[in-house]
A = this chain, B = another copy of it.
């Protein structure tokens, strides 16, 4: 590793210039007029992968933007890492809010400003550079590696599932590695080992067959909006517990070690409350905010609609109402089972005076990578060496669909080693990547491939 490290150390200026070149290509996947730019960006990346010595480098056409695939499988007996990232970026609008143009990367202070700097070009490039360092110094990698870098992450990975289905054999690996998330805090690297899943439902309720006059009929017939509110009100009890029968059956409780680890993280409930602008935080009794977000399931109304919603008043007794309700799930809740339990419960709560339709919009499985997983241990060691500081182990409250996809389609766990910062402004104007973390990320990635191969 000494040679690899000294190689990296002597190439910082070039790494910066190359990343700038990568960022100059406006690979905005959602805009049709950037189609050629996205293509050019895929080519730029593929050329670099060929240059550093990766094998079987391909720009695979899809129905949309190409997927860049590369591999190096010259380490028989060693594990295989499937690295996933994306080279497409969010649109940069509104342009006028950028201090310097989004596709003209500029260094100010510790940061490199450009669209895609953090999300995800910077984090992809640092892995390419780590691989380059190994290959340049030793002509080989300490581990087998497959790179899958798509150009449609910002447009719902439209063609990724089909690609994975078609290439399941090619993509066989031991673990997935993704650098597309954030650090817990400035100067505090982290490994995310858990994500919540999702069940997104819609309730449609119908009372009388048409809108009625609230004077001529009110009081004699169920108002579907009152009924809908009554149903929703019964989803969560006074202790913040979700009341759907069987909802918690498969929930893996937080371990004492996890609770201690979360509690030791710098987190101020008071700052958090102020940041959200609420008079009080709220949630399931007996849990801290971090525990509630990372490791406990939810039942949130995402949308409500019914009756007259304009200015002023209209005395209508509405015929119909609608609620979108989603549940964040934690391991080992099964989205299909929860969706079914939800529908059964809603139907049971609804009186005979209304009709109910329950629609399932989407589901995603929760994920938990055991912290004893060799790849997680390798990541922890790599981060400690790369950053000079031990990582904290965190979970996240959201879902990363591609993680669930890898689990479902390939049976693979994912290690999330991200280098974004809370203020990196991914998806916003003036996106930036902290250059200290860019360089540390290269060292860390180099260490990771070395550690996991040993």
Contact = CB atoms under 8 A, between A and B. Distances in A.
A140 to B, nearest CB: 40
Contacts of A209: 276-278
Contact of A213 (B202, B212, B233, B398): B398
A384 interface: no
A159 B328 CA distance: 55
Contacts of A284: 219
A264 interface: no
A314 interface: yes
A410 interface: no
A355 B303 CA distance: 18
A399 to B, nearest CB: 6
A76 interface: no
A230 interface: yes
B302 A308 contact: yes
Point out which of A202, A207, A213, A226 has the most chain B C-beta atoms below 10 A from its C-beta: A226
B315 A396 contact: no
Given A209-B276, A219-B292, A214 B302 contact: yes
A298 B218 contact: yes
Nearest to A212: B276
A326 B304 contact: no
A222 interface: yes
Contacts of A353: 278-282
A326 B215 CA distance: 10
B301 A355 contact: no
B302 A307 contact: yes
A228 interface: yes
Point out which of A298, A313, A351 has the most chain B C-beta atoms below 10 A from its C-beta: A313
B225 A301 contact: yes
Contacts of A317: 300, 302
A398 B229 CA distance: 24
A349 B150 CA distance: 50
A196 interface: yes
A220 B226 CA distance: 26
B233 A229 contact: yes
B302 A326 contact: no
A215 B303 contact: no
B315 A326 contact: yes
A289 B212 CA distance: 15
A139 B374 CA distance: 111
Interface string A229-265: 1101111100000000000000000000000000000
A230 B355 CA distance: 21
A228 B229 CA distance: 8
Given A229-B301, A276-B221, A278-B207, A216 B397 contact: yes
A208 B202 CA distance: 23
Contacts of A230: 229, 232-233
B396 A208 contact: no
A223 B326 CA distance: 12
Contacts of A315: 198, 200, 302, 326, 398
A141 interface: no
A285 to B, nearest CB: 12
A59 to B, nearest CB: 31
Given A232-B226, A307-B303, A220 B283 contact: yes
B313 A200 contact: yes
A309 interface: yes
A386 interface: no
A321 interface: yes
Given A196-B215, A304-B305, A309-B322, 7 more contacts: A198-B315, A209-B278, A218-B328, A219-B283, A229-B301, A302-B314, A304-B307
